[in-house]
Chains A and B, each alone.
Chain A
Amino acid sequence: MNILILLIPISLGLGALGLGAFFWSIKNDQYDDPKGHSMRILSDQYDDTPKDD
């Protein structure tokens, strides 16, 4: 049962990582235009050079 001491923190840590990522995505305006994002992925305007800003 000693393995629990390791496994429980790991599973909680991974979960917290996911939660953190989700918070980041909310902050990053990723839920403001769901329809637009699903379309933008189809864009064939590749960035050959890095954006200016």
Chain B
Amino acid sequence: MEQEQPSLAVCPACVAMPPSDKIVPKLKADATEMRRIELSLPSVHCAACIANVERALAARPDVFGARVNLTLKRVSITGADSVGIEDDLIEHLAKIGYPALPLDSAALEKTRTDKVGRDLLARVAVAGFAAMNVMLLSVSVWSGATDATRDLMHWISAIIAIPTIAFSGMPFFKSAWSALRVRRLNMDVPISLALILATGVSLAETLEHGEHAYFDAALSLTFFLLLGRYLDHRTRAVARSAASELAALEVQKAQRILPDGRTETVPMDALSEGDILLVSAGARVPVDGVITNGSSELDPSMLTGETLPEAVTVGAQVHAGMMNISGPLHIKTVGLGEETLLKQITRLVETAETAKNKYTSLAEKAAQIYAPAVHLLSAGAFIGWGLATGDWRLAVNIAAAVLIITCPCALGLAVPAVLAAASGRMFRQGVLLKDGVALEKLADIDMVVFDKTGTLTTGQPQVLNANDIPEAAQAIAADLARGSSHPLSKAIANRFATTGNVTSISEHPGFGTEGLLGGQKVRLGRANWCGYDGEPPTQTATWLKIGNAAPIAILFQDQLRPEAKETVTRLLSEGLQVLLLSGDVPAQVRSTAEALGITDWVAQATPSDKVDRLAELAADGQKVLMVGDGLNDAAALAAAHVSISPASAVDASRTSADMIIVNNDLTQIVQSYRIARAAKRRILENFTVAAVYNMVSIPFALAGFATPLMAALAMSASSITVSLNAMRVGRMK
């Protein structure tokens, strides 16, 4: 921060009167306390955005530095450690058109600098440097260098190769060792063996002034395999940082009422049993409890899938996750322990996860066949040649050649290169893949199970019977609804045009709104408040009473997402079965299913019903993709073969889902399925390519005709073919 002032001789004026922009940094330097603030900026996307955000932040005196990270869509700010600076900055950014969200910087600190990634990258770089140099030295050997020159080349190669293998090969050695310790074989065992054997044999050959040294092959093998490892890591790191970002966004807080009547905002884990909490209209109930004051309606759709609000008053039991829609409530927390609904759901999720069959990924399957086969071949070649010729040095040489030639170089790249390309592709489209294996699983599905509320629908009510309501009444309803933040009022205000004729409108929390129209009293609100005492309708309803006339019912229905129909149609045309599995009442589920063209539907399914249903389907051999967002879906998401949640889902569902649709666009399900299918095809093609290269070269190696040149060519050619093939996934339309 300290800067040089020009000397008096150069510019006396500058010293007497520094330019104004130089005063600000001075101010900044006085504030000794600094703090790092991380904000999520979902809307930054271009060069101008970066410049706008950074300039706007730098202009503030309480900001010392700001840097936008476009890859992670974040800005990291060094600012004064003053109270409320975070909120000030968010407000400031919102004013210039970039809505920002606070991130828990402590949780993000771990992922901020990607240590493992940098470490891998350094190893890749060393291996690449060594491989290129040794390859150059080898060219002279291949082109006919003999005697002392060849020995010199081999010696220089050895000096470069041995420390490089020791450094760059470490990830493979470590992983192979941990597999061997539990008596298992993974892909890294043959890799490590090949590396060590190749280096050892080559060193022995060099000492003996031999002809064949495989230093170049060992190094390029390390280089290509590390590249695969790095791609794999990169895919995971991006997904992990995005996932931790989603988690950091959801900072749950509760409003606790103090004995003196004031309220304070406290984090969830600071609550204790018996606390009185305030749940304002439009907020979610934070914990299970009993209402001690107020009356309202609660929307249980996140919990049960039902869209019909439940009227509650003092003494009623409420559950965490319900949305309070009309009046403010005071609740006394009762269940913080094992018996809350949330805990029960969590238990259900855990059981569902353990009951699920373990999935063996394609890479693991390949390793299970490949590793023993290669070891047998190599051991066979060693024993065979040893017994046949009695020349054990030749036998070791041939065994090493077999291991190197068959080395799973292309196999090591086959899966990670495809997954990196595919998950990058999906990330750009707004789908977050938590784990590469989920992509393989997605390619296998033959059935899609949808939740209804919040997944196929928006969760926003929409007026259903507009045509049955007289126009005059529509205008009155709109006038009354205009000032209210109740979700039903908002739906009315959106649907009907206002005239502004209703005067002296007042809101009665928990009941509705009241006003005057030419001396007549008009009311919009709950049934009994508006004088309706007949049968309650099967749908969400509000009532409009004009003077002494009979109240008019305004019915609501949950609105379908605009792309829901297209999504279902496209899934059906891909040859997938579609099932609607909802916790809502049959009438609602049937109408949704009919509107979307879904023939199979199940209504009133409890969370455990959903899990049971998925277990049945799995037992029948169906591979199910579950799409859901509510708390009631969390266990089903965990039980399904593979699962997707929209980003609007509750935390528990996002945690158990394998994929998250960040932009909430359902058609991405179809697109992701197509990418997954293509990715799986590419992986299998890559395995074939690698196998063909091996099959061609193994006979040469076994017969003892293999040369280091051949090994180098086969390895590079197969690795390049496999990588290029993988990149096609990223470019598909």
Contact = CB atoms under 8 A, between A and B. Distances in A.
Interface of A: 1, 4, 8, 11-12, 15-16, 18-19, 22-23, 26, 31-36, 39-40, 42-43, 45, 52-53
Residue of B1, B65, B125, B136 most packed against chain A (CB within 10 A)? B125
B51 A43 contact: yes
Interface of B: 1, 3, 22, 25, 46-47, 50-51, 55, 65, 68-72, 113-114, 117-118, 121-122, 125-126, 129, 132-133, 136-137, 149, 152, 156, 160
A33 B51 contact: no
A2 to B, nearest CB: 11
Contact of B114 (A32, A34, A53): A32
A35 B71 contact: yes
B244 to A, nearest CB: 16
Contact of A15 (B1, B65, B118, B133): B133
Given A23-B122, A31-B121, A43-B51, A16 B70 contact: no
Contact of B50 (A4, A8, A36): A36
Given A12-B133, A18-B129, A26 B122 contact: yes
A39 B25 CA distance: 27
B3 A39 contact: no
Contacts of A52: 3, 22, 25
Contact of B118 (A11, A26, A35, A53): A26
B70 A11 contact: no
A47 to B, nearest CB: 12
A3 to B, nearest CB: 12
11 contacts: A8-B137, A8-B156, A11-B133, A26-B118, A35-B71, A36-B69, A39-B46, A45-B51, A52-B3, A52-B22, A52-B25
B132 A4 contact: no
B245 to A, nearest CB: 15
Given A19-B125, A33-B72, A52-B25, 13 more contacts: A1-B149, A8-B137, A8-B156, A11-B133, A18-B129, A22-B125, A23-B125, A33-B69, A36-B71, A39-B47, A40-B50, A53-B25, A53-B65
Nearest to A9: B156
Nearest to A39: B47
A20 B71 CA distance: 26
Given A8-B156, A26-B121, A15 B129 contact: yes
B128 to A, nearest CB: 8
Contacts of B55: 45
A22 B538 CA distance: 68
B50 A39 contact: yes
A39 B78 CA distance: 22
Contacts of A18: 129
B122 A43 contact: no
Contact of B136 (A11, A39, A45): A11
Contacts of B136: 11
A35 B1 CA distance: 29
Nearest to B156: A8
Nearest to B54: A45
Contacts of A12: 133, 160
Contacts of B149: 1, 4
Contacts of A11: 133, 136
Contacts of B132: 15
A31 to B, nearest CB: 7
Contact of B70 (A23, A26, A35, A53): A35
Nearest to B69: A33
Task: Give chain A's interface secondary structure class.
Answer: helix
B497 to A, nearest CB: 45
Contacts of A45: 51, 55
Contacts of A34: 71
Nearest to B46: A39
Nearest to B145: A1
Q: Which of B25, B68, B132, B133 has the most CB of A within 10 A?
A: B133
Nearest to B121: A26
Nearest to B22: A52
B249 to A, nearest CB: 20
Nearest to A51: B3
A16 B164 CA distance: 13
Contacts of B117: 31
A11 B153 CA distance: 13
Contacts of B125: 19, 22-23, 26
A52 B65 CA distance: 11
Contacts of A26: 118, 121-122, 125
A45 B51 CA distance: 8
Contacts of A35: 70-71
Given A8-B156, A15-B132, A39-B46, A32 B122 contact: no
A4 B150 CA distance: 12
Contacts of A15: 129, 132-133
A36 B66 CA distance: 14
B133 A43 contact: no
A52 B58 CA distance: 12
| Top 4 A-B pairs, shortest CB-CB distance | A36-B70, A39-B47, A42-B47, A35-B71
A33 B133 contact: no
A1 B156 CA distance: 15
A4 B55 CA distance: 55
Contact of A32 (B25, B113, B129): B113
Contact of B47 (A4, A16, A43): A43
A8 B155 CA distance: 12
A4 B151 CA distance: 13
Contacts of B25: 52-53
Nearest to B136: A11
Contacts of B50: 36, 39-40, 43
Given A4-B152, A26-B118, A53-B1, A39 B70 contact: yes
B124 to A, nearest CB: 9
Given A4-B152, A31-B121, A19 B129 contact: yes
Contacts of B22: 52
A38 B606 CA distance: 50
Contacts of B152: 4
A16 B68 contact: no
A12 to B, nearest CB: 6
A1 B140 CA distance: 12
Contacts of A36: 50, 68-71
B152 to A, nearest CB: 7
Contacts of B1: 53
A32 B237 CA distance: 11
Contact of A33 (B46, B71, B118): B71
A16 B121 contact: no
A29 to B, nearest CB: 8
Contacts of B47: 39-40, 42-43
Please indicate which of the listed interface residues A8, A22, A34, A36 has the most CB atoms of chain B within 10 Å of its own CB.
Answer: A36
A5 B3 CA distance: 50
Contacts of A31: 117-118, 121
Interface centre among B50, B68, B117, B160 (most CB of A within 10 A): B50
